[in-house]
Structure 1
Amino acid sequence: MIKSKSDYLRYLEQDRLSLNVKGGLKDWLTHDIWHFQKALRKLEYYKNTSSNIVTKSYALYLQFRVRKLGRNLGFSIPANVFGPGLSIAHAGTIVVNGRCKIGANCRVHVCVNIGGGLSKRANPPVIGDDCYIGPGAKIYGDITIGNNVAVGANAVVNKSFGDNLTVGGIPAKLITDQGPLDILKKSRVNLNLDRSQ
């Protein structure tokens, strides 16, 4: 959670790197997701650190701005849910419960829904660091997903999973004991071997 100016700047930088934003004129003109994420992080900063009527009013303005940008892109993502390094892959429907806690370096694709259970009092999911959430995934209920977990496309996750896994299916089940970081590391090693031959 952003609690200081240094946190705010760190989150912004991690998000920029995750989105591979170079910062040029092209990104400024065309990268709508980056504009949304910058506004979201600014909202989090002011919402969490406001101490007077002026900054609280500005936080309220930012809340409306984030909501408007989100509607244009199809996002319903509230403040203080994602850790640093958020990477939203595409514009399109993404709905996240405001009480979810999702760790650092999460990559989220289109048509993802992360929410509570059948009752409003049900706890929403807690998701660890370095997770990949594939297109169309539905994650719901009082569950915990560990670090370095890939959730496959269109998976329905309604039970907890540990660390360093890939899950998929309806309902989700274990696919492999390798998470997204393991798969990336393996593909980089194979790429380097191919180049050396």
Structure 2
Amino acid sequence: MPALPENRIHNWLDCRAFMAADYYSRSGRRPVIEFVMNPVVRFLVLLRIAEWLLNIGAPFIVRAPLMFWFRRLSMRCGFSISLNVFGPGIALPHYGPLMVHQDACIGRNCRIHIGTVIAGSAVIMDPAEVPEFDAPIIGDNVYIGPGVKMSGPLRIASDCAIGANSVVTHSFNRPGVMISGFPAKIVGLQGSQDMLVRGCDFVPALRATESIIDDLQAAG
């Protein structure tokens, strides 16, 4: 996958900006109390610090204690989420079963609910025929309802909302629509505008970033 500056933490300032965007996307209140009382908040903080240490090339002996804590918290929350998958401003409203493929690429301000599976291709392929992107690429400001399932090299445009228990089997390149059903189809023109908080809008360092989908298209 091409290096995506928006979707990666390169330094401590980036790490702080990502954590701030996550904080505003979730609630924007009582950060210390929520960190102590809510394991999901601790998970997100550890996720960003782990991404920072990995991306700056910190030695494994430095990362190991934090990664041990992160993995234990992942199992406690029921999350299977790899590093460097989500852009800034992620909101995880609940703990519970949630799986995101390590090759998935998700933009800013994603709100994703319990029971969601974002997987790679469900078929065995010849290594020479594996596409460059073998997992979903999801744009900015996308709402993903409970129980959504999607897999393979499909794309979801920015500002879309995916209804609960939908099964997404192909790409949706039209931004700002409502997607629902099995298999999923466009059921409305009301996207995610009123369904999530755009945490990146509250962080000056992230306001001017470009869409992750635009970056991917430019990369070919």
Give TM-score scaled by structure 2 length.
Answer: 0.77
Q: How far apart in 2 are the matches of 1:140 and 1:117?
A: 6
Q: What residue identity is the alignment partner of 2:17?
A: R
Larger radius of gyration: 1
- RMSD between aligned residues: 1.7
Alignment correspondent of 2:182: 170
Secondary structure at the aligned position of 1:114 is classed as strand
Q: What residue identity is the alignment partner of 1:22?
A: R
For the 8 Å contact 1:134–1:153, the answer to whether it is kept is: yes
Distance 1:71 1:170, change over 3 A: same
Alignment correspondent of 1:132: 143
Q: Give the counterpart of 1:65 among 54, 69, 91.
A: 69
Structure 1 residue 50: Cα displacement = 2.0
Structure 1 residue 183: Cα displacement = 6.7
2:17 counterpart of 1:10: yes
Question: How many percent of aligned residue pairs carry the same amino acid?
Answer: 34
Distance 1:174 1:67, change over 3 A: same
Structure 1 residue 117: Cα displacement = 1.2
**Correspondence list, 1:1-197, <5 A:** 1-23=8-30, 26-51=33-58, 53=59, 56-119=60-123, 121=130, 123-162=134-173, 163-181=175-193
For the 8 Å contact 1:139–1:158, the answer to whether it is kept is: yes
For the 8 Å contact 1:140–1:158, the answer to whether it is kept is: yes
Number of equivalences: 181
Q: What residue identity is the alignment partner of 1:88?
A: L
Secondary structure at the aligned position of 1:139 is classed as strand
Give TM-score scaled by structure 1 length.
Answer: 0.86
Bigger helix share? 1
Structure 1 residue 25: Cα displacement = 5.0
Deviations 1:63-87 (A, max 9, x none): 2222110100100011000000000
Alignment correspondent of 2:3: none
- Give unmatched runs, 5+ long, in structure 2: 1-7, 125-129, 197-220
Distance 1:173 1:46, change over 3 A: same
For the 8 Å contact 1:124–1:143, the answer to whether it is kept is: yes
Q: How far apart in 2 are the matches of 1:155 and 1:92?
A: 18
Deviates more, 1:120-129 or 1:132-141: 120-129
For the 8 Å contact 2:145–2:162, the answer to whether it is kept is: yes
Secondary structure at the aligned position of 1:87 is classed as coil
Structure 1 residue 24: Cα displacement = 5.2
Deviations 1:90-126 (A, max 9, x none): 1100001011000000001000000111236560000
Secondary structure at the aligned position of 1:86 is classed as coil
Q: How far apart in 1 are the matches of 2:195 and 2:145?
A: 15
Q: Which has the higher contact order (CA 8 A, sep 6+)?
A: 2
- Give unmatched runs, 5+ long, in structure 1: 185-197
Runs of 4+ in 1 over 4 A off after TM superposition: none
